[in-house]
């Protein structure tokens, strides 16, 4: 049994992974900006599942969430950085604020989760970090700029 901390896990691939990990018997701390989507899992896995409301653009909240998961389960084995979103369109159409917002979530949010987990992993002398992106995070379509 492992303890896994996963961001952006209330829908899509994140929620699918949470469900699969819980069925496998792992402990899961799942984060999302809203935790209403976790009601069924909280009822079904009361001791294995810890839902955490988190906006990954809030550095202090990120550190508190990672530490809360570690305290709750007593260990932390895997961090899955899944939270993020895309911004699509021609580069000249991207506004300054929306570009800054995507960097706050996709770059700095991921950085802060990783920075919060590393001291725990070092103290335990073990741990894994899994960074995720969509294919458009590394490849784009002709005539389109994407930030993922």
Chunked into runs of 10 residues, the chain (148 residues) has average pLDDT values of 95 91 97 90 95 96 98 98 81 85 91 97 97 65 58
Within 8 A by CB and 6+ apart from 29, the residues are 3, 4, 5, 6, 50, 52, 65, 68, 69, 72, 73
What is the CATH class of 3-147? Answer: alpha beta
Strands 87-89 and 145-147: antiparallel
Q: Please state, as a whole number, how many other Cβ atoms lie within 10 Å of the Cβ of residue 99.
A: 13
pLDDT for position 144? 61
Q: Which residue has the tokens 């995070």?
A: 137
Rounded to 5°, the CA angle 124-126-132 comes to 125
CB atoms < 10 A from the CB of 18, how many? 26
Residue spans of the domains in the chain: they are 3-147
Query: What pLDDT score was predicted for residue 140?
Result: 63
Per-residue confidence (pLDDT) for residue 139, from 0 to 100? 59
């Amino acid at each position: 049994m492992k303890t896994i901390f996963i961001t952006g896990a209330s829908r899509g691939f994140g929620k699918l992974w949470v469900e699969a990990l819980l069925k496998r018997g792992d402990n899961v701390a799942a984060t999302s900006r809203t935790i209403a989507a976790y009601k069924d899992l909280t009822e079904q896995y009361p001791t294995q599942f810890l839902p955490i409301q988190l906006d990954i653009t809030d550095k202090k909240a990120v550190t508190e969430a990672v530490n809360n998961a570690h305290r709750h389960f007593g260990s932390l084995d895997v961090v899955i950085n899944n939270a993020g979103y895309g911004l699509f369109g021609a580069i000249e159409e991207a506004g300054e604020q929306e570009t800054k917002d995507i960097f706050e979530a996709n770059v700095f949010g991921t950085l802060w989760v990783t920075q919060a987990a590393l001291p725990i992993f070092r103290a335990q002398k073990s741990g894994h970090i899994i960074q995720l992106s969509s294919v458009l995070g590394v490849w784009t379509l002709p005539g389109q700029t994407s930030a993922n």
